[in-house]
Structure 1
């Protein structure tokens, strides 16, 4: 038990004391990337609420929930990164609010992908029952269940923290900058994370692959709409790719901790920044943009909104 309470390798101290120009370069790169994707995702969210048809279609409602979670997860991520770049330390409880919000949103995306896959399966394999199964109300209930499950996951982590505080003497003052690794430092959280992530992504993976196999089998029948089945298969494949990207982002801490044991301080900083962009920012932003451009109903409205806002900004500058 004591081995599970010992703090893991502290990677945060390894990120300090590096070249300030290099930190500035990576900081501007990451800040610009997050702001760009945040802007695009906000326009996409606005697009999904700009027409009544998007508010009444189950797949668009689910897509809105997916993008909403992925978009607003970037806000605390950006705050944590800016605090790290500026080497600013905040109280343990303030750090906990930011970290718990990030962890809370992390579970929303894979669970929403599972519901979206089931929706595509029902639309192709049971088209006559789709309108009665995936109504606006039932879709809202499914989204509420996803967010509730994620909230329960956070409560479990909070109870674990309270238990640790009551069992052992822990320093509540952050010695380094705020991060998920620095907040959940006891090894017991590493073991819990491994079990939870493995169970979650295995379950969601089975749901997506099962839906894909079901749609593929139905697509072979002569009575099936081939074009609709083909689009559903492409969407389910995109769900699986998105799930893989989200899984990779969930392994960010594990990858960084493993690399921290083998490289020096300056090399770790570069790897950390590159992994932050590729594993944290891109999976949560690029995938949702692909969804918007792939959907034939959303794409023209999305491009119009993006272009109109760009033209408006140009006119205002003039």
Structure 2
């Protein structure tokens, strides 16, 4: 579901209820050895630290100048990168906890997954608003300043956070139906993940329904703006250079949204893989998937935007090089 994006796929196999007879493995094969766990954890932790540094530098760059703090698209970009960075931190934290075989209590796990769910919803909604901003810039250039004012941008971001918070609140309310009072202890048996917190059929159905609605709606909105920008670019009165740049930007948003969707619909494929490979091999596969489907996409946004945007690029490079370069104009 929507919250699955923040839960790395490695955890899934550790606590999944895949039929053991389908996996047909011995007890010795069930878990990775200590050396291998350390190796895989290091191979994911190192790039994660690098990606976090890049994202943090990008966030710092977007707060370093007034033009970034007062322009709609840069404010929205900051909101997107902030959500992706928090997701990355939480995912790596859960990954380390699972690798170390540390289980949490239900309240602590619920707090982490709720925060991750909040950020998961914020990302696609922010992409929609960013696409609409580019659409307005091309199709309504004379009204762009008034439509994308600071007031309207703040209202849009507030609406995104409000909707995301309501989603998380609904998920938590659905947990009331679960009989926690019958548990001998609030200590979790499984590792902390969204799978472990989907307690009861109501939570599972709601998560799937909300995820489907969110990504279908966001996908239609982003694709519609892309088509609108293409049509506007063909008109004689359009600014060809601006239209071309806006089309590429919206296309990037389509790709970003596609990565989010692919990470979500990938779960059924994982279940199928888990039924035909050994547990140990499956854990190895999931470590690779964790890198390519969770860590990498959340770093690409800052790199692509930072390199493409002529205003951000010199500031970002200056910060990345720890001010070794000359200060940008």
The TM-score normalised by the length of structure 1 is 0.89
1:162 aligns to what?
A: 176
- More deviation in 173-182 or 130-139? 173-182
* Rounded Cα–Cα distance in structure 1 between residues aligned with 2:289 and 2:283: 10
2:13 aligns to what?
A: 11
Report Cα offsets for 1:268-293 as digits up to 9, x if no partner: 11122111111111122222321221
1:56 aligned residue (55, 70, 84): 70
* Rounded Cα–Cα distance in structure 2 between residues aligned with 1:248 and 1:32: 24
Are 1:297 and 2:311 an aligned pair?
Answer: yes
DSSP-derived class of the 2:36 partner = helix
DSSP-derived class of the 1:302 partner = helix
The TM-score normalised by the length of structure 2 is 0.86
Cα pair distance change 1:200/1:81, threshold 3 Å: same
Are 1:78 and 2:99 an aligned pair?
Answer: no
- More deviation in 280-289 or 48-57? 280-289
- Unmatched tracts of structure 2, length 5 or more: 1-11, 17-28
DSSP-derived class of the 1:308 partner = coil
Cα pair distance change 1:310/1:283, threshold 3 Å: farther
Report Cα offsets for 1:213-250 as digits up to 9, x if no partner: 11111111111110000000000000000000112233
1:95 aligned residue (102, 109, 112): 109
Q: How does 1:130-279 map to 2 (within 5 A)?
A: 130-165=144-179, 169=182, 172-251=186-265, 253-279=267-293
Cα pair distance change 1:132/1:271, threshold 3 Å: same
Report Cα offsets for 1:29-63 as digits up to 9, x if no partner: 11111111000000000101111111111001100
What's the CA shift for 1:261?
A: 2.7
Report Cα offsets for 1:251-280 as digits up to 9, x if no partner: 454443343233211011112211111111
* Rounded Cα–Cα distance in structure 1 between residues aligned with 2:199 and 2:53: 33
RMSD: 2.1
1:65 aligned residue (70, 79, 85): 79
Cα pair distance change 1:198/1:134, threshold 3 Å: same
Assess if the C-alpha contact under 8 Å between 2:126 and 2:160 holds in 1. Answer: yes
RCO comparison, higher one (Cα < 8 Å, 6+): 2
- Unmatched tracts of structure 1, length 5 or more: 1-9, 312-318
* Rounded Cα–Cα distance in structure 1 between residues aligned with 2:324 and 2:99: 30
2:3 aligns to what?
A: none
